[in-house]
Amino acid sequence: MSDFDTRIKQIAQVLEQLDDNQVPRNIRSASKDAVEKWLLNAAKDMDVRLGMTASILDEVFNDPNLPGHYGPLCLQLQAALEEMLNEVSRS
């Protein structure tokens, strides 16, 4: 498994933290879709997978119902996804 695959799996595991009863259902659903439909979907191109996941996380971060302690988590994940997207673009 490449370093890239390892980082994707780590991001997916961290996103699973949003599957918490403190988090509104729409946010839990969006984060689950981001992982299952985009991030881990090997049938899609890597840049699309990373970009769509980052876009969904942006929507989650801007949701006023997101519990405050999950905001920094979303920002960290977005930064990691953007970094990976830049790496894919360069290669």
pLDDT in 10s for each residue of the chain, 91 residues: 688 899 999 999 999 988 889 899 999 999 999 999 999 999 999 999 999 999 999 999 999 999 999 999 999 999 999 999 999 988 7
**What is the rounded distance in angstroms from the CA atom of residue 64 to the CA atom of residue 72?**
14
Residue 28 exposed, middle or buried by CB count within 10 Å (0-12, 13-18, 19+): middle
All structural domains of the chain with their residue ranges = 3-90
Rounded-to-integer distance, Cα 31 and Cα 54, Å: 10
Superfamily of domain 3-90: Ta0600-like (1.20.1440.50)
Q: Answer whether 35's CB lies under 8 Å from 15's CB.
A: yes
pTM above 0.85, yes or no: yes
